[in-house]
Amino acid sequence: MKKITKVQPSLRVPKVAVSELNVRKAATRLLNAKLVSTEVSYVQRVLGNTATQDELDARVLAVRKLPWSEIALPD
């Protein structure tokens, strides 16, 4: 006799918009500081239009540790 097991559906992680406001809110919550516009632009450029909250948080924390030459776009 075979044992029947139920397959649970995978949990769907909601995505949030990677807007300037959401990036700034995440920075305030995580860093207790504001990001400059170049850092916000970098996060938006790397993540695209949408990302999970965990991805957004990780990128906001990482942006302060990156060298400026990697964040800023050349003129």
**22 within domain boundaries:** yes
**4 within domain boundaries:** no
Tell me the pLDDT of the chain (75 aa) as tens digits: 677 777 777 788 899 999 999 999 999 999 999 999 999 999 999 999 999 999 999 999 999 999 999 999 887
**45 within domain boundaries:** yes
**75 within domain boundaries:** no
**Host domain of residue 37:** 15-70
Q: Which pLDDT does position 8 carry in this prediction?
A: 72
**10 within domain boundaries:** no
**8 within domain boundaries:** no
**6 within domain boundaries:** no
* Domain count along the chain: 1
Write a three-state SS string for 3-68. Answer: CCCCCCCCCCCCEEECCHHHHHHHHHHHHCCCCCHHHHHHHHHHHCCEEEHHHHHHHHHHHCCCCH
Q: Which pLDDT does position 10 carry in this prediction?
A: 72
The pTM of this model reads 0.80
Q: What is the CATH number of the domain that holds 28?
A: 1.10.238
